A = this chain, B = another copy of it.
Amino acid sequence: MAKAPTVYDVAEYAGVSIATVSRVLRSPDTVKAATRERVLDAVRFLGYVPSANARGLAARRTNVIGLFFPGHDDHHSGAIPFAEGDHIEVGTDDTEDDENLYYDEVLRGAEAEAARHGFALMVASGDGDVVSDLAGRVDGLAVLAGTVSDELLAHVGRRIPVVILGGRDDEFDHVSANNGPGMRELARHVATKAATIAYVAGAEGPDDAERWAGFSEVATAALHRGDFTRRSGQRIASEMRELPDAIVCANDQMALGVLDVLERLGIRVPEDVLVTGFDGIAAGRHSRPTLTTVHQPMAELGRAAVQVITARLDDPERQKQSLTLAVRVVLRESCP
């Protein structure tokens, strides 16, 4: 890691000016082939890698799109298990319950789409400081609705385009799943088979509100407030006084939590009670019983977010848009 070579080093070695070096890298065909080769040789010989900082500064854009996620709550901060000697532990199963955090897929979609547009993707999670730091590094930013204060959002929104995943307003571009209608359709299905329904809501926010609103269009239910975690689903299920005909949950995690408790109590699903979720996470496809849900196209959410950002980068004046992605009701064993 001796001092990294710069355009100047390359230029000198190749016997050209730095402008030519830059041109070889940015617009190769404006440079004579022979010159180009000499420069490229120099690049290889010196191990030259252009500084994205310098380039971004000069060109006034970074070609990076940022993605902000709420913190991982640091359940990962234990010691790293290094291999010790020759011993390999053998066990019957691991306790790990990797709730395939749904934004893995969002992230993958965003990454793929960013790559298609020639952007790199930068991810960060944490608090407000992280957001403004991130904002200084990217050309556009995607954030989950409700994870960043309006104030901060307004602040960074003055510098770069921001797209919000979920929710909708006129301040920013939005991309979200068709929450309300999806839940409404699911509720309609549930209502044909259940008279009494319990609704397990998630943490308050636009998504949760839309789902509840969709549900309310076609059915009524006792509302229990959870927070989208499996644990809260478990808690709510154990606290239920009497069994309704169906338990409709605002997301899959909570529905799985409900299933956990029902199984423990020996209550059969769907015979004794119907259970539904929302999101379409992989775990719901493998649970017992498998989980009826509303599937959101996560990867497409990420892709759409990136598309919206690049579109706004191309035309800052365009009207704010609010994209809604199609969802799909998926009937499985828990509410066939």
Measuring CB to CB, which residues of chain A are less than 8 angstroms from any residue of chain B? Answer: 1-2, 4, 44, 47, 49-57, 62, 64, 72, 74, 76-77, 80-84, 86, 88-94, 98, 100-101, 104-105, 107-109, 111-113, 115-116, 120-126, 130, 132-137, 154-156, 158-161, 178, 181-182, 184-185, 189, 280, 282-283, 285-287, 295, 297, 299-300, 303-304, 307, 316, 323-332
Contacts and interface: CB of A to CB of B under 8 A. Distances in A.
Nearest to A282: B98
A281 to B, nearest CB: 9
A131 to B, nearest CB: 10
A253 to B, nearest CB: 14
B134 A124 contact: no
A122 B133 CA distance: 13
Pairs of residues from A and B, 3 with the lowest C-beta to C-beta distance, nearest first: A286-B286, A47-B158, A53-B56
B82 A330 contact: no
B280 A282 contact: no
B328 A86 contact: no
Contact of A57 (B49, B53, B64, B161): B53
Contacts of A112: 72, 74, 76-77, 125
Given A112-B74, A282-B100, A326-B84, A136 B1 contact: no
Contacts of A1: 158-161, 316
A325 B81 contact: yes
A191 to B, nearest CB: 14
Contacts of A51: 57, 136
Oligomeric state, in copies: 2
Nearest to A44: B155
Interface-central residue, A76, A91, A181, by most chain B CB under 10 Å = A76
A13 to B, nearest CB: 15
A4 B109 CA distance: 29
B104 A326 contact: no
A295 B112 CA distance: 28
Nearest to A1: B316
Contact of A108 (B72, B130, B283, B324): B72
A218 to B, nearest CB: 12
Nearest to A300: B80
B89 A323 contact: no
A177 to B, nearest CB: 8
Contacts of A98: 105, 282
B53 A62 contact: yes
Given A123-B111, A324-B83, A90 B57 contact: no
A92 B330 contact: yes
Given A53-B56, A88-B326, 6 more contacts: A49-B156, A76-B109, A83-B178, A92-B330, A100-B104, A121-B124
24 contacts: A1-B158, A1-B160, A1-B161, A49-B136, A51-B136, A53-B56, A54-B57, A57-B57, A80-B303, A80-B325, A82-B323, A82-B326, A83-B178, A88-B327, A89-B328, A91-B329, A93-B332, A98-B105, A100-B100, A100-B104, A120-B122, A121-B122, A121-B124, A122-B123
A325 B135 contact: no
